[in-house]
Amino acid sequence: MHTKLLRQLFSDDLPRSRLLSALLGLIFIGLALAPFITSGARPLNTAATICVYIVLVASYDLLLGYTGIVSFAHTMFFGIGAYGIGLSMANAGPYWWVALAGLLAALLLTILLALIVGLFALRVRAIFYSMITLAVASSFAVLASQLSDLTGGEDGKTFSVPALLAPGFRLFEGDVFGRAIDGKLITYYLVFAGSVLLFLFLLRVVNSPFGRVLQAIRENEFRAEALGYRTVLYRVLANCLAALVAALAGALMALWLRYVGPKTMLSFDVMTDILLIVVIGGMGTMYGAVIGATLFIIAQNYLKSLMAQASGALAGVPLLAEALHPDRWMLWLGVLFVLSVYFFPAGIVGKLRGNRSGER
């Protein structure tokens, strides 16, 4: 009965590796208990960012890993969701109905743009589609930066959230397990629960008949067409689904940060991070998003401070101390990425599954 429930929850797509199962379980427990096993704002912010990026990367893998679509417009949809929540509450007040209205408007705009991009761009092949999505995303980022009266320009906008999510809110007078049940904690668990639900939804999508058709299109589009599937329609639908989930991830990120800005939400750096995480975790597997996002965000947040400690400890060895100077953390992050690709060409999850990530 227990195994049957797990299969239903994970859409009959279990990790199929003891080590992978242990890693996923450890990450889930760590994120679920993060407010109670860590102290300070930085660890909790790291955990919330991991939650959002798991969903964002998994939604992109629906395009790249499962359908074979290389798009550079994913951050645009992420930003639309964030700006929808942020601008609505910044202009109309911190009310739930305002947040919901802003989110609905963002989702409608997301569907419209995803349809337009899909219908016009998915009819072209490979690099041409990628360049079109890059041009559209870049134009949207420039527009967000220039409409300073509406969006706050390069500085972005901060906004207040509903009282339940405000840091000063207290659900109980006392602490629970040494932690105050305040608005920040409630916001974290809103982000965590939303991320879990969206991830399980994507897992259900890729393991449905619709998902199997997407994988058939990825493997051989001409054969899929010969079997009677309207491949353009399936690709457009996949593009819309991925865009909607990315927009919802953006809304969760905006709620957590209580801030929206082009560098945080629409920057090409975010798109680069997504691509790196997909490759590290493994394309064509939702679990790759979990492993990849966790490792990448932790490295991004703590590698610099670890290098500072190592550089200080090796002060007597000038060459090593200089090599490990914290200003060179991006260099070492790049080295770690190259090593991960070299030793795990199919991604970490592909390696743990014995390069059988596509099997049932």
Q: Give residue limits of the domains in the chain.
A: 41-286
Q: Give the CATH fold of the 41-286 domain.
A: ABC transporter involved in vitamin B12 uptake, BtuC (1.10.3470)
Q: For 71-124, what is each residue's pLDDT tens digit?
A: 898 999 999 999 999 999 999 888 999 999 999 999 999 999 999 888 776 666
pLDDT at 360: 39
For the chain, what percentages of helix, strand and coil (3-state, to nearest 5) are there?
75, 5, 20
Provide the β-strand partners of residue 229.
none
pLDDT at 194: 96
Q: Which residues contact 255 (CB under 8 A, 6 or more apart)?
A: 85, 99, 161, 165, 187, 190, 191
Q: Which residues of the chain have pLDDT under 70?
A: 1-3, 121-126, 355-360
Burial of 243 (0-12, 13-18, 19+ CB in 10 A): buried
pLDDT at 201: 94
The model carries a pTM of 0.91
Q: How many beta carbons lie within 10 A of that of residue 152, not counting itself?
A: 22
Q: For 276-315, what is each residue's pLDDT tens digit?
A: 999 899 888 899 999 999 999 998 888 878 887 887 777 7
Q: Which residues contact 274 (CB under 8 A, 6 or more apart)?
A: 53, 56, 57, 60, 74, 75
Pairing of the two strands 259-260 and 157-158: antiparallel
Task: Return d(Cα 273, Cα 135) in angstroms, integer.
Answer: 19
pLDDT at 356: 46
pLDDT at 1: 56
Q: Which residues contact 57 (CB under 8 A, 6 or more apart)?
A: 274, 277, 278, 281, 289, 292, 293
pLDDT at 257: 92
Residue given tokens 């890729």 in the structure block: 206
Q: Please, are residues 281 and 289 in contact by the beta-carbon 8 Å criterion?
A: yes
